[in-house]
A = this chain, B = another copy of it.
Amino acid sequence: MKLYDFKMAPNPQRVNMFLIEKGIEVPTVEINTRERAQFQESYLAINRISQVPTLELDDGTCIAESMAICRYFEGMQPDPPLFGNNVKEKALVEMWSRRAEFMGYLPAADMLRNSSPVFKDRGLPGVPGGVPQIEKLIERGRNSMDRFFAHFDERLGEVRFVAGDHFSVADITTFVTTRFASRVEVNPPASCANIARWLSEIESRPSAAAV
Q: Is A194 an interface residue (CB 8 A)?
A: no
Q: Is the CB of B63 within 8 A of A91?
A: yes
User: Measured between C-beta atoms, what is the minimum distance from A124 to chain B in Å?
Assistant: 7
Q: Is the CB of B63 within 8 A of A75?
A: no
Q: Is A57 an interface residue (CB 8 A)?
A: yes
Interface members, chain A 89-139 (any B CB < 8 Å):
90-92, 94-95, 98-99, 103, 123-124, 127, 131-132, 134, 136-137
Q: In the complex, A132→B143 CA distance in Å?
A: 11
Contact for A49 among B71, B92, B137, B151, CB less than 8 A: B151
Q: Is the CB of A68 within 8 A of B48?
A: no
Q: In the complex, A98→B143 CA distance in Å?
A: 25
Q: Is A200 an interface residue (CB 8 A)?
A: no
Known: A49-B151, A127-B147, A137-B134. A68 touches B87 (CB 8 A): no
The total of chain A residues at the interface (CB under 8 A) is 39
Known: A134-B136, A136-B134, A143-B131. A65 touches B94 (CB 8 A): yes
Q: Is the CB of A90 within 8 A of B75?
A: yes
Q: Is the CB of B68 within 8 A of A88?
A: no
A binding-site residues for B, Cβ under 8 Å: 48-49, 57, 61, 63-65, 67-69, 71-72, 75-76, 86-88, 90-92, 94-95, 98-99, 103, 123-124, 127, 131-132, 134, 136-137, 140, 143-144, 147, 151, 154
